[in-house]
Amino acid sequence: MFESGSYIEELLRYSSETKSTDLHICSGIRPMVRINGKLQEIEDKEKVFPEQVDAILRSLLNDKKLEKLYENKVLDFSFSISGVGRFRANAYSQRGTYAIAIRMLPFQIPKFEELGLPEISKNLTAKSRGLILATGATGSGKSTTLASFIDLINENYNYHIITIEDPIEYLHRHKKSLVTQREIGEDCLSFSNALRSALREDPDVIMVGEMRDPETISIALTAAETGHLVLSTLHTVGASKSIDRIVDAFPPNQQNQIRSQLATVLEGIISQQLIPRIDRQGLALASELMFVNPAIRNLIREGKHYQIGSIMQTGQGQGMHLMEADLADLYNNGKVSKEEIFMRSTDHQLLTQFLNRR
């Protein structure tokens, strides 16, 4: 007889032991895990049937969340299994049946030193106001970077930190700071709703899991403008594209105002990608780091985002660097393949220039 609780626990233990980042359960195929960036079947498991996926979901979700899944056909949630780990999951409908994608989350928030980011990026956590963005594709480690930043602030400052997440990924203990965490659907209705109420909860720092819509972006900019430190994520690669995404979320008649606000409050952008290592010992982090200086503020205000890359190249003394520079360094140091870096570069000509500087 199929025991959904023990079955999912066994799969998650296997995922943990093999250091998988993700587990996929979909009817008609064996469960699959992603190891070192590559998806592969779990060979000793049988194909999963729709009723088994349904049973797994019933073991992971309460009645309220099941009802929400059946209504919306998709659901984000998180859960823990004692002795195994903490997990973020997305259940979704496909071909009339449900599938589940599960991301492994460590119980402990990774220390900044473990992330592989430039030491100077830690300076962003000393800001007392403004907007800091972590950007990148899904699975690039944005949430982990922000969690580590929040932990640094928590260790060093007497602040009230509010996190707004969907779902809550890392659990923060109170250290020097008071940390209150709100989950969409459990503690609040939406990012914009939670962000608006957060401004009345005496915050010093607000972490918004994702700036998904114009309303959330607008309130986040206002929060940063009124003296709060706001941290958030975007699904973009590169600093200039992140600025484009924020501005383009608004109709043309509002874009000048948004550029002006963004030019005033933006403090820094960390863009990142995770790339399979040549030695197959995990993933290597490639990053782009932009600190906002007066020249960049002027370019944002004037809508000349395409010139920001040039300023970043001349601003290396301030700790800034482009993604292509980091990709080239990873290849030149023998950590990743040339094929991988060209797949992840958005400017092959610039990447070639950095490769040839060696």
Say yes or no: 309 and 217 in one domain: yes
Mean pLDDT of 239-263: 97
Share of the chain above pLDDT 90, in %: 87
Of 105, 138, 170, the last residue of a domain is 105
pLDDT at position 126 is 97
d(CA 42, CA 45): 6
What CATH number has the domain bearing residue 79? 3.30.450.90
Instruction: Encode pLDDT of 334-357 as tens digits.
Output: 999 999 999 999 999 999 999 998
pLDDT at position 169 is 87
Say yes or no: 166 and 305 in one domain: yes
pLDDT at position 123 is 96
Q: Is residue 348 part of a domain?
A: no
Say yes or no: 166 and 201 in one domain: yes
Mean pLDDT of 229-250: 96
Mean pLDDT of 274-286: 93
Question: Cβ atoms within 10 A of the Cβ of 350, count?
Answer: 18
Residue 142 has pLDDT above 60, yes or no: yes
Residue 1 — pLDDT band, cuts 50, 70, 90?
A: low
Dump the DSSP string for 255-284.
HHHHHHHHHHHEEEEEEEEEEE-TT-SSEE
Q: Is residue 124 part of a domain?
A: yes
Question: Cβ atoms within 10 A of the Cβ of 305, count?
Answer: 18
pLDDT at position 7 is 93
Residue 138 has pLDDT above 90, yes or no: no
d(CA 22, CA 276): 14
pLDDT at position 186 is 85
Question: 3-state DSSP call for residue 166?
Answer: coil
Residue 181 — pLDDT band, cuts 50, 70, 90?
A: very high
Q: Is residue 119 part of a domain?
A: yes
Q: Is residue 309 part of a domain?
A: yes
In terms of Cα–Cα distance, which of 199, 154, 196 is closest to 179? Answer: 154
Instruction: Encode pLDDT of 199-220 as tens digits.
Output: 999 999 999 999 989 999 999 9
- The DSSP bridge partners found for residue 96 are none
Q: Answer yes or no: are the C-beta atoms of 135 and 237 closer than 8 Å.
A: yes
Quick one: how far is CA 200 from the chain centroid?
26
Mean pLDDT of 255-260: 97
d(CA 95, CA 186): 29
Say yes or no: 41 and 131 in one domain: no
Say yes or no: 32 and 82 in one domain: yes
Residue 358 has pLDDT above 80, yes or no: no
Q: Is residue 138 part of a domain?
A: yes
Dump the DSSP string for 207-253.
EES---SHHHHHHHHHHHHTT-EEEEEES-SSHHHHHHHHHHTS-HH
Mean pLDDT of 26-30: 96
Q: Is residue 65 part of a domain?
A: yes
Residue 148 — pLDDT band, cuts 50, 70, 90?
A: very high
Of 55, 71, 105, the last residue of a domain is 105
In the predicted model, what is the mean pLDDT of the chain? 94
Mean pLDDT of 147-170: 96
Structural domain span for residue 242: 112-321
Amino acid making up residue 84: V
Mean pLDDT of 285-293: 97
Say yes or no: 197 and 49 in one domain: no
Angle at 119 between CA 346 and CA 285, to 5 degrees: 40
Question: Cβ atoms within 10 A of the Cβ of 281, count?
Answer: 11
Tokens of 39: 């998806």
Please state the pTM of the whole predicted model: 0.90
Say yes or no: 167 and 84 in one domain: no
Mean pLDDT of 139-149: 95
252 cis-preceded (ω within 30 degrees of 0):
no
Sheet holding 130-135, edge to edge: 178-183, 160-165, 205-208, 229-234, 130-135, 266-276, 283-291
Tokens of 340: 């991988």
Residue 96 has pLDDT above 70, yes or no: yes
What CATH number has the domain bearing residue 259? 3.40.50.300
Total domains present in the chain: 2
Dihedrals phi, psi of 28, to nearest 5 degrees: 95, 0
Instruction: Encode pLDDT of 101-130 as tens digits.
Output: 999 987 789 999 999 999 999 999 999 999
pLDDT at position 99 is 97
Q: Is residue 73 part of a domain?
A: yes
